[in-house]
Structure 1
Amino acid sequence: MTQALSLPLPEAEALAAFVRRDRSYDGRFVVGVRTTGIYCRPSCPARRPRPENLALYPDIPSAQAAGLRACKRCLPDDAMQDRDAVRAALDAISGQGGPVPMSVLAERTGYSPDHLARIFRRAVGLSPAGYGRALRLEHARDALGKEANVTDAILEAGYETPSRFYDEAKDRLGMTPSAWHRGGEGVTIRWAAVPTPLGDMLVAATDKGICRLSFGEGVGSLAARFPNAELVEGGEDFADLLTRVIAEVEAPGSDPDIPLDVKGTAFQERIWAELRHIPPGETRSYAQLAAAAGHPKAVRAAGSANGANNVAVLIPCHRVVRSDGSVGGYAYGPEIKIALLEREKPR
């Protein structure tokens, strides 16, 4: 296998993506096949050629300059155009700071609204409208931390009325905007600390779901995060949820429907969603995680979002390793990360 030009990612990673037909890498590079004179997208369904007949190119013009033509089976030119359209839509939504009408996005990208919505959801994991709402909620949460007046913060974030914000926020923030602004005031958080083979585990939940799972921490860490919340130890209602959490930690993947109450930026929540898509027993690199989230260049940001995860194991940030296969960092120490990965290996 020959690398023709400098790639935007490590050669070994690109080749591995091509071998496993990873669609998340489509648009990031193309693969030339010298024996057939074509170039393909990484996910091309055709039979894989011999390595010595391959050449990796950073983009379509590079492959075309080498005398190659587009594969008629996987249509790599379409993948590049789709990538550019999604990026243009993301830029438009980010510039607006919230939802942008599909008609406007379609006109800007030259795509039909239905096709744009389809490729956007595939790349980002949310519809354009959903991404815009998440971004606006992110701005609202930031404003709530700055403004003394909750209504002013909501209006500053771009909502026409406070009621519109409450309608959108009730299912994402997990607590009212006023309570969030006042450090969890008016919210009850139930918690328990239990011994496990990995060390003492702290589990805490609001009425909506688990808001904290950590190792080696006590209730003091909850008080620091939610200084004005009511912290209540245990309880019968909490016992059932705690039992489910312990079982999931012992056998990852056995109960994927445990409710969570986590808060993050739109990007962080996209990364956390991708983490939950990684099957037990498998790992991803930070670059793969960023690419799967639709932001292949945001590798460092993906690492930061990974580290901002508040519910260990349930959002399996331990399944992300360095590109060279080494374990890398972990909030609770590499020993616990290694133990988690070991218990997930197929037996």
Structure 2
Amino acid sequence: MPDTLPPLDDRRWTALLARDATPDCGPFLYGVTTQGVFCLPGCPSRPPLRRNTVFFADAPEAEAAGYRACKRCDPKGERAALHREAVAAAVALIEASETIPSLEALARRAGYARHHFLRLFRDITGVTPRSYAEGVRARRLQSALSQGARVADAVAEAGFGSESRVYEKRGATLGMTPGAARRGAKGETIGIARAESVMGPLLVGATAQGVCFIGFGEAMEALEGDLRRRFPLAQLREDPALDATVARVAAFLREPHAALQLPLDLRGTAFQRRVWEALQAIPIGQTRSYGQLAAGMGKPEAVRAVARACAQNPVSLAVPCHRVIGASGDLTGYRWGVPNKKRLLAGEKAGR
């Protein structure tokens, strides 16, 4: 059969005009003969005339032809590497500091203007320096509490000015009160419900606020172990009130024709919650790449951070991380198994 696709360079030209950073014709660079520069297809510069455009597979090929890298789109990633190094140094300083460094101090140390550095840090990490530093304090507090330190001592060691700062927003720092964290969630009760599904054993856990865990496709002991690692000293008890909920989840696994909407108790960092909200906004039967998800959040440089947040999602299906795929369209790793991910996506597509 004759090839019905346009020639490769014509497809590249179409992608260039669309400023498509992930074209279906594969990665490429384009050169502008009148300027002697080569660019990424998503370069913000005005598109050249077609007669002044040549295409290259990669930067070495473009440089071998005598072209130099565009300073706007940074096709070789050299400027981006410098930005990442500056942000990594700022992250190291935050991690080593007992108090939260000011934005001015971080920007000055990195050699950037305050607002420019704030944008760089947020694009690369997905959060502001302040939010990152607060996450470091929360991690220190959690570590000290888990080792049995008194709440007052742990709060001081973590860099909080007083206990009131931790209690201002109940649960915002640790997902629970410091006392409950120190006890490993001792005193909290999590209801659980079990069922068999078309994808194997199914376990749902819920607090009084909503569902905090959904796991499936593994031995029941492994699923319960996942839940216990999140709440190591919480009391788990069978809760008949969750029978209807676990039945809804099992029905979704069998026929994922409509969004699974449940009351949720999501405990994570501010950035993780933003990612989980973005996941819930993906329509059923559709998919997004990690890059598209990050770009949709206004954080195009935070692809890895987005991927980590997807992997840490505790309520799969309700927060549909199975709808995120690789940039190539491949079904990348899935906590509950790639075959299950494939089946879910096929069922949602058929239902739509």
Q: Are 2:25 and 1:21 aligned?
A: no
Q: Distance in 1 between matches of 2:89 and 2:280?
A: 26
1:121 aligns to what SS in structure 2? helix
Q: Distance in 1 between matches of 2:108 and 2:40?
A: 26
Q: Distance in 2 between matches of 1:109 and 1:253?
A: 49
Post-superposition shift, 1:202? 2.0
Larger radius of gyration: 2
Unaligned runs of 5+ in 2: 1-7, 10-14
Q: Indicate if the aligned counterparts of 1:321 and 1:328 stay in contact, CA closer than 8 A.
A: yes
Quote the sequence identity (%).
Answer: 32
Pick the aligned partner of 1:94 from 92, 95, 109: 92
Q: Distance in 2 between matches of 1:162 and 1:65?
A: 64
Distance change in 2, residues 1:19/1:43 (3 Å): closer
Post-superposition shift, 1:39? 3.0
1:5-20 aligned at under 5 Å gives the runs 20=20
Q: Are 2:342 and 1:338 aligned?
A: yes
Q: Distance in 1 between matches of 2:157 and 2:64?
A: 49
Q: Are 2:261 and 1:261 aligned?
A: no
Post-superposition shift, 1:257? 8.7
Q: Distance in 1 between matches of 2:275 and 2:245?
A: 25
Post-superposition shift, 1:134? 1.6
Post-superposition shift, 1:185? 1.1
Deviations 1:121-154 (A, max 9, x none): 3443322211221222123223333344333333
Q: Distance in 1 between matches of 2:120 and 2:281?
A: 19
1:318-329 aligned at under 5 Å gives the runs 318-320=322-324, 326-329=330-333
Post-superposition shift, 1:212? 0.8
Deviations 1:87-108 (A, max 9, x none): 5244323322263211112323
Distance change in 2, residues 1:289/1:344 (3 Å): same
Code of the residue aligned with 1:100 in structure 2: it is P
Post-superposition shift, 1:43? 2.9
TM-score by length of 2: 0.65
Tell me whether 276-285 or 123-132 shows the greater mean CA deviation: 276-285
Q: Distance in 1 between matches of 2:152 and 2:258?
A: 41
Q: Are 2:117 and 1:116 aligned?
A: yes
Q: Indicate if the aligned counterparts of 2:38 and 2:67 stay in contact, CA closer than 8 A.
A: no
Match of 2:73 in 1: 76
Q: Are 2:43 and 1:44 aligned?
A: yes
Q: Distance in 2 between matches of 1:144 and 1:86?
A: 33
Match of 1:312 in 2: 316
Match of 2:3 in 1: none
2:58 aligns to what SS in structure 1? strand
Alignment length, in residue pairs? 316
Distance change in 2, residues 1:64/1:82 (3 Å): farther
TM-score by length of 1: 0.66
Match of 2:58 in 1: 56
Tell me whether 213-222 or 335-344 shows the greater mean CA deviation: 213-222
Q: Are 2:191 and 1:193 aligned?
A: no
Tell me whether 304-313 or 199-208 shows the greater mean CA deviation: 304-313
Q: Indicate if the aligned counterparts of 2:289 and 2:324 stay in contact, CA closer than 8 A.
A: yes
